Amino acid sequence: MRILAVNGGSSSVKCRLDEIDRVPSEAAAPLWQAHVELHENLESVLRSVPGPVDAVVHRIVEGGKYRETTRITPEVHAAISAGAEVAPTHNQFELQSIDAAQRVFGASVPQVAAFDTCFHATLAPAAYVYPGPYEWLDLGIRRYGFHGLSHQYASRRAAELLGSESLRLIVCHLGNGASLCAIRDGKSVDTTMGFTPLEGLMMGTRSGSIDPAILIYLMRHRGDTADRLDRILNSESGLLGVSGVSGDMREILASTEPRAKLAFDMYAHRLCREVGAMAGVLGGADAIVFTGGVGENCPPLRRIVEQRFSFLNAKILIIHAEEEWEMIRECYLLLSDVFAGKASNGRKGF
């Protein structure tokens, strides 16, 4: 089966084409891949994919009621659209990518949604219910968690490397967006992102968790609107907001500006605070796993975490993020029965 993964992030889109005939485990070399900025024309990129495509799988950040990888139907498409209020940047792009894929490959090629929230479906109510009025839960206000595909892959790969599935893992997905996940025996038991991808760690341009009364104060004393606050929290905060230099950790480390140093120190402080929280949930940790662009490529940050949590005697692992591979694996598990027995000349091209 030839599966194309389309993974739209907050600033770029990664595409990957693989041909597989069994349940995949470790990532193999792709047939084709591309990494482009969001301002580039996605439809043109999709038209450059070589050869036939049997299925297209999309990473969908906000899954709402969907708790497993799902074929995209009109109903699922509508649910993804509804989720755009919670994850506007991601879900709107993902809707565009679904529509572009249908134009390029045709309606006969199945499209699949791999939801970033699915891995966190195992959270217990104590972890996902917010301590506001209980009626919030009826409105769908709860901790969903995100980066699930990355946490899922890192968890499975860590189990392979350590030779055991019975592990307490703290997975640190650190990129422009960032989240931690506490994983016990391969299942998510807590995570730092919540109702939206804004909660939790300090990020590239997102604030992460702050005192909610700050927003009330700004509305009352500065007249900030909901749209203005949304822009501040998601696009003008985090490393960028504190440093005034950049939301990119590489530029923060290279800068001599005092605020850049403060931004790094804050990032490390908040990361350690949340790692400690995840360790408390798990009752310790067998390994701390770093993945994502910052997690994989920022030794000074990893050293701080390793030093502060040396008392845990946890192994430190660096695992390359493979969200597109995890998407392809999920798609194959969903559709393999559909394609079983089909001749190769029965594939639908474009």
Residue 116 scores a pLDDT above 80? yes
**Start and end residues for every CATH 3.30.420.40 domain found in the chain:** 2-115+323-346, 164-318
Phi, psi torsion values for 105, nearest 5 degrees:
-100, -15
Environment class of 293 (CB within 10 Å of its CB; exposed 0-12, middle 13-18, buried 19+)? middle
- Per-residue pLDDT reduced to its tens digit, 152-196: 999 999 999 999 999 999 999 999 999 999 999 999 999 999 999
Q: In whole numbers, what is the pLDDT of the chain averaged over residues?
A: 92
Q: Which residue has the higher pLDDT, 106 or 342?
A: 106
- In CATH terms, 2-115+323-346 corresponds, of 3.30.230.10, 1.10.3720.10, 3.30.420.40, 3.90.1150.10, to 3.30.420.40
Lowest mean pLDDT among 86-95, 182-191, 268-277, 326-335: 86-95
CA distance 258 to 250: 15
Q: Structure tokens of 219?
A: 């509305």
| Cross-strand partners of 17 | 4, 32
Does residue 330 or residue 37 have the better pLDDT?
A: 330
pLDDT tens digit sequence for 120-161: 999 999 999 999 999 999 999 999 999 999 999 999 999 999
Tell me which of 116, 190, 248, 286 is the catalytic residue.
116
Indicate if 116 belongs to the active site. yes
Neighbours of 337 (CB within 10 A): 8
> What average pLDDT does the segment 319-348 reach?
76
Mean pLDDT of 324-341: 88
Contact 105, 87 (CB under 8 A): no
* pLDDT tens digit sequence for 268-309: 999 999 999 999 999 999 999 999 999 999 999 999 999 999
More confident residue, 288 or 13: 288
Question: Averaged over 210-238, what is the pLDDT?
Answer: 97
* Beta sheet of 187-191, edge-to-edge order: 187-191, 178-184, 168-174, 287-291, 315-318
pLDDT tens digits, 14-72: 999 999 988 766 777 899 999 988 777 889 999 999 989 999 999 998 777 788 999 99
- Cα dist. 230→9, 93, 227 in Å? 18, 18, 5
pTM for this entry: 0.92
Q: Give the model's confidence band at 3: pLDDT under 50 very low, under 70 low, under 90 confident, else very high.
A: very high
Class of domain 164-318 as given by CATH: alpha beta
Query: Which pLDDT value is given to residue 344?
Result: 33
Residue identified by tokens 């949930």 is 281
